[in-house]
Homo-oligomer: A and B are copies of this chain.
Amino acid sequence: MAIFSKTCEYGIRAVFFIAHKTANGNRIGIKEIANGISSPEPFLAKILQDLSRKGIIQSFKGPHGGFYLDESSLSRPLSDIVEAVDGDSLFKDCGLGLKACSEINPCPLHNQFKEIRNNIYKMLNSTTIGAFNNELLTGIFSLKK
């Protein structure tokens, strides 16, 4: 099992891609995004639609339309995307699947999982969507394949 769902993986990669491609105020179409992050286009369309409805990204219909990010979207933490797509179970649920994770009825790995979950959350919450725009432009980081 991966940490995130496919939906979430594509979502994060797409948002990074949109961020660095529209930093200049342009918009970008679904085809170019799907191609840029090696994702199935119709599936990605659904994902971006959903992120747009939830206000994580912005979109504009019609000719010269496309997806983009406004200032406040660029400074959102990645944890917002994850919560919007996969929910908060990664940050809150018991790692061994107990109905509720709590100090009252803890599983044997409760303390260990608590720390791991916190690390994941801290990392995602302290990283913004726009954080890698420069590195993506210079090609240090990849979103493809």
Contact = CB atoms under 8 A, between A and B. Distances in A.
Interface of A: 1-6, 8-10, 12-13, 16, 86-87, 89-90, 93, 95-99, 105-110, 112-113, 115-116, 119-120, 123, 127, 131-132, 135-136, 140-145
A3 B95 contact: yes
Contacts of A99: 145
A105 B142 contact: yes
Q: For chain A, what secondary structure do more than half of its interface residues adopt (helix, strand, loop), or is it mixed? A: loop
A42 to B, nearest CB: 17
11 contacts: A1-B3, A1-B90, A2-B93, A9-B95, A98-B144, A99-B145, A106-B140, A106-B142, A107-B141, A107-B143, A112-B123
A12 B54 CA distance: 36
B97 A2 contact: yes
A144 to B, nearest CB: 8
